[in-house]
Amino acid sequence: MGDNTSEGIILIDSLLRLLRRRTIANGLKKLSLDPARVKYVLVIHGHGDHYLGSKFLQDRYGAHIILSQADWDLMAKDRTAAQLKPRKDMVATMVRS
Protein backbone atom coordinates (compact mmCIF):
# COMPACT_ATOMS: atom_id res chain seq x y z
CA MET A 1 0.00 0.00 0.00
CA GLY A 2 1.33 3.45 -0.75
CA ASP A 3 0.64 6.94 -2.00
CA ASN A 4 2.32 8.78 -4.87
CA THR A 5 2.57 12.45 -3.93
CA SER A 6 4.23 15.35 -5.72
CA GLU A 7 7.04 14.97 -3.16
CA GLY A 8 7.51 11.25 -3.80
CA ILE A 9 6.04 7.91 -2.80
CA ILE A 10 5.01 7.02 0.75
CA LEU A 11 4.80 3.28 1.45
CA ILE A 12 3.09 1.60 4.34
CA ASP A 13 5.18 -1.42 5.39
CA SER A 14 7.95 -3.02 3.39
CA LEU A 15 7.22 -6.75 3.54
CA LEU A 16 9.75 -9.52 3.96
CA ARG A 17 13.35 -9.19 2.85
CA LEU A 18 13.06 -12.10 0.41
CA LEU A 19 10.16 -10.43 -1.38
CA ARG A 20 11.56 -6.90 -1.52
CA ARG A 21 12.79 -6.74 -5.12
CA ARG A 22 10.00 -8.68 -6.75
CA THR A 23 7.13 -7.29 -4.73
CA ILE A 24 8.23 -3.74 -4.03
CA ALA A 25 10.55 -2.55 -6.80
CA ASN A 26 9.03 -4.58 -9.64
CA GLY A 27 5.50 -4.09 -8.30
CA LEU A 28 5.94 -0.32 -8.31
CA LYS A 29 7.33 -0.46 -11.84
CA LYS A 30 4.29 -2.48 -13.01
CA LEU A 31 2.15 0.37 -11.69
CA SER A 32 4.30 2.86 -13.66
CA LEU A 33 5.82 4.15 -10.42
CA ASP A 34 9.54 4.66 -9.98
CA PRO A 35 10.86 2.95 -6.82
CA ALA A 36 13.55 5.64 -6.64
CA ARG A 37 10.74 8.05 -5.72
CA VAL A 38 10.01 6.20 -2.44
CA LYS A 39 10.70 8.88 0.16
CA TYR A 40 9.13 7.41 3.28
CA VAL A 41 8.25 3.95 4.55
CA LEU A 42 5.80 4.02 7.44
CA VAL A 43 6.18 0.68 9.23
CA ILE A 44 3.07 -0.04 11.25
CA HIS A 45 4.87 -2.21 13.82
CA GLY A 46 8.24 -3.78 14.50
CA HIS A 47 7.66 -7.36 13.31
CA GLY A 48 9.87 -8.71 10.53
CA ASP A 49 7.01 -9.30 8.11
CA HIS A 50 6.42 -5.53 8.16
CA TYR A 51 9.95 -4.10 8.23
CA LEU A 52 12.39 -6.52 6.57
CA GLY A 53 12.19 -4.84 3.16
CA SER A 54 12.99 -1.45 4.73
CA LYS A 55 16.78 -1.79 4.69
CA PHE A 56 16.65 -2.50 0.95
CA LEU A 57 14.59 0.66 0.36
CA GLN A 58 16.80 2.68 2.71
CA ASP A 59 20.06 1.51 1.13
CA ARG A 60 18.99 1.41 -2.52
CA TYR A 61 16.71 4.45 -2.75
CA GLY A 62 17.48 6.54 0.35
CA ALA A 63 13.97 6.13 1.76
CA HIS A 64 13.32 7.35 5.30
CA ILE A 65 12.02 4.65 7.65
CA ILE A 66 9.42 5.66 10.23
CA LEU A 67 8.39 3.63 13.29
CA SER A 68 7.27 4.49 16.80
CA GLN A 69 9.99 4.43 19.46
CA ALA A 70 8.40 1.32 20.97
CA ASP A 71 8.67 -0.43 17.60
CA TRP A 72 12.29 0.66 17.05
CA ASP A 73 12.95 -0.89 20.49
CA LEU A 74 11.04 -4.06 19.56
CA MET A 75 13.02 -4.34 16.33
CA ALA A 76 16.30 -3.91 18.23
CA LYS A 77 15.38 -6.89 20.45
CA ASP A 78 14.32 -9.03 17.48
CA ARG A 79 16.71 -11.93 16.86
CA THR A 80 16.88 -11.04 13.17
CA ALA A 81 20.47 -10.38 12.10
CA ALA A 82 21.42 -6.73 12.54
CA GLN A 83 22.60 -6.43 8.92
CA LEU A 84 19.00 -7.11 7.78
CA LYS A 85 17.47 -4.32 9.87
CA PRO A 86 17.16 -0.72 8.71
CA ARG A 87 19.20 1.96 10.44
CA LYS A 88 17.14 3.90 12.97
CA ASP A 89 15.86 6.91 11.12
CA MET A 90 12.63 8.65 12.07
CA VAL A 91 10.43 8.21 15.15
CA ALA A 92 6.68 8.55 14.72
CA THR A 93 4.85 10.32 17.50
CA MET A 94 1.21 11.06 18.06
CA VAL A 95 0.23 14.68 18.31
CA ARG A 96 -2.86 15.32 20.41
CA SER A 97 -4.78 18.52 19.97
Q: Where are the domains of the chain?
A: 2-92
**pLDDT score for 92:** 95
**pLDDT score for 18:** 58
pLDDT digits (tens, 9 = 90+) for 81-97: 888 899 999 999 988 87
Q: Please name every residue paired with 2 in a beta bridge, in sequence order, or none if there are none.
A: 11
Please give the residue that has the higher pLDDT: either 28 or 73: 73
**pLDDT score for 47:** 85
Q: Is 63 helix (H, G, I), strand (E, B) or coil?
A: coil
Contact residues for 68 (Cβ-Cβ < 8 A; gap 6+): 91, 92, 93
d(CA 68, CA 57): 18
**pLDDT score for 94:** 85
- At the top level of CATH, the class of 2-92 is alpha beta
pTM assigned to the model: 0.85
d(CA 44, CA 47): 9
pLDDT digits (tens, 9 = 90+) for 28-59: 888 888 999 999 999 998 888 888 889 989 99
**pLDDT score for 22:** 65
